């Protein structure tokens, strides 16, 4: 999908095509099927021209040839009689602009479907997403037909949250009942780390968001979708594409630019079939049944950490959780781990070449593909599951069994929350970064919640252990502390302030307390040169924001927020 999107963009500029390594080793590769859908396509004279290989500086790339567009059909919300198009009731920006430009610059025509017409000059320039110069014809859907002919998605005519008119309350993600989907989603979620930029595929991977919400981690992740939404919660099922409470939108071709450039930290994708060498098929299950890959190839080949999610078997699989782990009550009729996939949408060998970290997560086992073996390796197994009968016998091949085979976390199979947030944020030692040159310690408290007196003492006792040898060796230390995402429960403030004062007197030469980007800037100043006036400007803004929050915050929890700005480790 990303390569096709950029093919269209290339046509708008009369470029030869889109050049990328995305698609190598998959069915898009000319050495496989070159993207041909059927035998007729393979026999077409155009087949060998549409996707070709080219070496650039010793690196193999694919060229997706740009094609002239005779007619571009796009959709918007409002048009004026000049053809200017706005998208205020559309849930995504998609690629309306580049489709229109590509058709227009090919000598073709552009037809835009809209809900309504506005007077000339009444549309704000910043709201116009497709200029009237690109549009030849506007088709207005009668208001009575909006619900049937101008739907926002397959099931929804209009949703004010998905198009960004309003934001919905947080914490309303539906919890998944304990079962196959939740077990797989929980194990996959254990690969997540705070502040990561993530893509979730449609279907099973959507469960990762539900688990993140249940574990109170959703606010610490950036979820994105390939059609162009950043932040918020991606819509699921037939609503897939937009996001609830998205923080920003961009055109689809631009989002894939970001993905291909490596902006994603991790992605979670489904898998219809997995082969012995780690190939994955999601695009076609039979000769006459084409599903298509969507953005799967772009995402899976451009992300450093890839997690595929699938049940071990399907069509009739029944499981239950026990006090000791997992029980297979009835095995599925169809095996998902096969000798060879029907169509290669992801290449295990290509992943090894690219240096990707690839996991295959099921409800009862976890596999990985590495350069060490040319067969996937079994690295984890669910408690109470038999290695031979429940795992190996349910595969069409024999995997490598790791000599360090681990038991999957038992919390995955229990009804209660896993409560893994503290583990994900890392130990206190990992949160401390010491700079020898200027005897400064950076402490990141992001995500820590102090719920009891024991928690408060744990924090300060741990800091003393870390700081004591440094202070003994070089004297009192300069501290820079990050408070974004830090919380302390009511009733603990006095103890916290008292412990802070004692630690400051014992070990601090100076202390600066920040939230968010200010902390990152303080770290960067130790690594790169930043002009003095820029540094002072940032500090002025930081102080202004803090003082502004002191004078304008009126929520009931305001006293705690102020405390976090002015006292602490």
- Annotated domain spans of the chain: 17-65, 73-149, 180-413, 426-566
Q: What pLDDT is recorded for position 175?
A: 82
pLDDT in tens, 104-119: 999 999 999 999 999 9
Of residues 316 and 218, the one with the higher pLDDT is 316
Task: Please state the rounded mean pLDDT for residues 441-464.
Answer: 89
Task: Please state the rounded mean pLDDT for residues 450-476.
Answer: 93
Q: Which residues contact 532 (CB under 8 A, 6 or more apart)?
A: none
245 phi-psi bin (left φ>0, alpha ψ -120 to 50, beta other): left
Residue that the structure tokens 């024999």 belong to: 398
**Comparing C-alpha atoms, which of 310, 344, 316 is closest to residue 329?**
316
Rounded distance between C-alpha atoms, residue 341 and residue 338, angstroms: 7
CATH topology of domain 180-413: Glutaconate Coenzyme A-transferase (3.40.1080)
pLDDT over threshold 50, residue 559: no
Angle at 386 between CA 381 and CA 387, to 5 degrees: 60
Q: What pLDDT is recorded for position 563?
A: 43
Q: Which residues contact 23 (CB under 8 A, 6 or more apart)?
A: 3, 29, 35, 51, 62, 64, 297, 301
Task: Please state the rounded mean pLDDT for residues 17-29.
Answer: 96
Fill in the DSSP letter of residue 145: G
Of residues 95 and 490, the one with the higher pLDDT is 95
pLDDT in tens, 159-195: 999 999 999 887 666 788 999 999 999 999 999 988 8
Least confident of 69-83, 215-229, 305-319: 215-229
pLDDT over threshold 90, residue 83: yes
Sheet holding 51-56, edge to edge: 17-20, 59-65, 51-56
Rounded distance between C-alpha atoms, residue 373 and residue 353, angstroms: 13
Q: Residue 444 — very low, low, confident or very high, per pLDDT cuts 50/70/90?
A: confident
**Comparing C-alpha atoms, which of 205, 343, 182, 206 is closest to residue 274?**
343
- Beta-strand relationship, 280-281 and 273-275: antiparallel
Q: What pLDDT is recorded for position 171?
A: 65
Our measurement of the distance from residue 109's CA atom to the centroid of its chain's CA atoms, rounded to an integer in Å, reads 36
Rounded distance between C-alpha atoms, residue 452 and residue 238, angstroms: 44
Q: What pLDDT is recorded for position 521?
A: 55
Q: Residue 78 — very low, low, confident or very high, per pLDDT cuts 50/70/90?
A: very high
Rounded distance between C-alpha atoms, residue 394 and residue 489, angstroms: 49
pLDDT in tens, 505-556: 999 999 888 765 555 555 545 544 444 444 555 555 555 544 444 444 333 3
Least confident of 32-46, 122-136, 252-266, 303-317: 32-46
Q: Residue 472 — very low, low, confident or very high, per pLDDT cuts 50/70/90?
A: very high
- Beta-strand relationship, 233-234 and 229-230: unpaired
Helix (H/G/I), strand (E/B), else coil: 31: coil
**Comparing C-alpha atoms, which of 263, 528, 567, 265 is closest to residue 445?**
567
pLDDT over threshold 70, residue 9: yes
Q: Residue 377 — very low, low, confident or very high, per pLDDT cuts 50/70/90?
A: very high
Catalytic residues: 226
Annotate 519-569 with DSSP letters as a single string: HHHHHHTTTS---HHHHHHHHHHHHHHHHHHHHH--STTHHHHHHHHH---
pLDDT above 70: percentage of residues in the chain: 89
- Beta-strand relationship, 17-20 and 59-65: antiparallel
pTM of this prediction exceeds 0.85: no
pLDDT in tens, 422-440: 677 778 888 899 999 899 9
Average pLDDT, rounded, for the chain? 89
pLDDT over threshold 80, residue 358: yes
Annotate 151-171 with DSSP letters as a single string: -SSSS-S--TTTTTSS-PPSS
H/E element, 100: helix 96-105
């Amino acid at each position: 999908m990303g390569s096709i999107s950029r093919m269209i963009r290339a046509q708008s500029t009369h470029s030869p095509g889109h050049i990328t390594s995305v698609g190598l080793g998959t069915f898009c590769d000319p050495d496989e099927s070159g993207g041909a859908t059927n035998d007729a396509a393979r026999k077409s004279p155009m087949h060998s021209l549409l996707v070709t290989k080219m070496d650039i500086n010793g690196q193999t790339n694919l060229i997706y040839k740009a094609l002239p567009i005779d007619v571009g059909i796009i959709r918007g919300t409002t048009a004026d009689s000049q053809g200017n198009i706005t998208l205020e009731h559309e849930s995504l920006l998609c690629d309306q602009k580049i489709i229109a430009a590509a058709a227009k610059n090919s000598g073709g025509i552009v037809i835009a479907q809209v809900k309504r017409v506005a007077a000339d000059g009444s549309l704000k320039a910043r709201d116009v997403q497709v200029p009237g110069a690109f549009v030849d014809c506007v088709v207005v859907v009668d208001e009575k037909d909006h619900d049937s002919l101008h739907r926002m998605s397959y099931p929804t005519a209009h949703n004010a949250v998905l198009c960004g008119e309003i934001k919905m309350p947080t914490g309303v993600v539906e919890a998944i009942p304990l079962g196959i989907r939740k077990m797989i989603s929980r194990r996959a979620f254990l690969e997540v780390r705070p502040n990561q930029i993530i893509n979730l595929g449609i279907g099973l991977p959507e469960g990762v968001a539900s688990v993140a919400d249940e574990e109170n981690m959703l606010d610490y992740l950036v979820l994105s979708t390939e059609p162009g939404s950043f932040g918020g919660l991606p819509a699921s099922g037939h609503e897939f594409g937009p996001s609830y409470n998205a923080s920003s939108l961009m055109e689809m071709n631009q989002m894939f630019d970001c993905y291909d450039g490596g902006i994603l930290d991790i992605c979670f994708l489904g898998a219809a079939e997995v082969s012995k060498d780690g190939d994955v098929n999601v695009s076609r299950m039979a000769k006459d049944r084409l599903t298509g890959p969507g953005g799967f190839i772009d995402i899976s080949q451009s992300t450093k950490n890839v997690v595929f999610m699938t049940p071990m078997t399907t069509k009739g699989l029944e499981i239950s959780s026990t006090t000791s782990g997992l029980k297979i009550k009835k095995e599925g009729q169809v095996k998902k781990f096969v000798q060879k996939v029907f169509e290669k949408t992801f290449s295990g060998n290509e992943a090894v070449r690219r240096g990707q970290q690839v996991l295959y997560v099921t409800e009862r086992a976890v596999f990985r593909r590495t350069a060490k073996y040319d067969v996937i390796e079994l690295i984890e197994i669910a408690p109470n599951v038999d290695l031979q009968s429940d795992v190996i016998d349910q595969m069409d091949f024999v995997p490598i069994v790791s000599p360090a085979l681990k038991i999957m976390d038992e919390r995955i199979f229990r009804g209660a929350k896993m409560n893994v947030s503290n583990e994900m944020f890392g130990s206190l030692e990992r949160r401390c970064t010491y700079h020898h040159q200027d005897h400064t310690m950076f402490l990141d408290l992001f995500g820590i919640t102090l719920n009891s007196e024991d928690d408060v003492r744990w924090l300060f006792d741990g800091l003393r252990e870390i700081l004591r040898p440094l202070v003994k060796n070089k004297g009192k230390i300069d501290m820079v502390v990050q408070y974004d995402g830090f919380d302390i429960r009511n009733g603990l403030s006095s103890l916290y302030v008292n412990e802070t004062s004692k630690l400051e007197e014992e070990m601090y030469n100076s202390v600066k307390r920040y939230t968010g980007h200010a902390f990152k800037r303080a770290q960067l100043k130790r690594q790169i040169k930043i002009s003095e006036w820029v540094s002072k400007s940032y500090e002025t803004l930081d102080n202004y924001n803090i003082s502004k929050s002191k004078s304008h915050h009126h929520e009931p929890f305001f006293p705690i927020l102020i405390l976090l700005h002015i006292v602490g480790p």
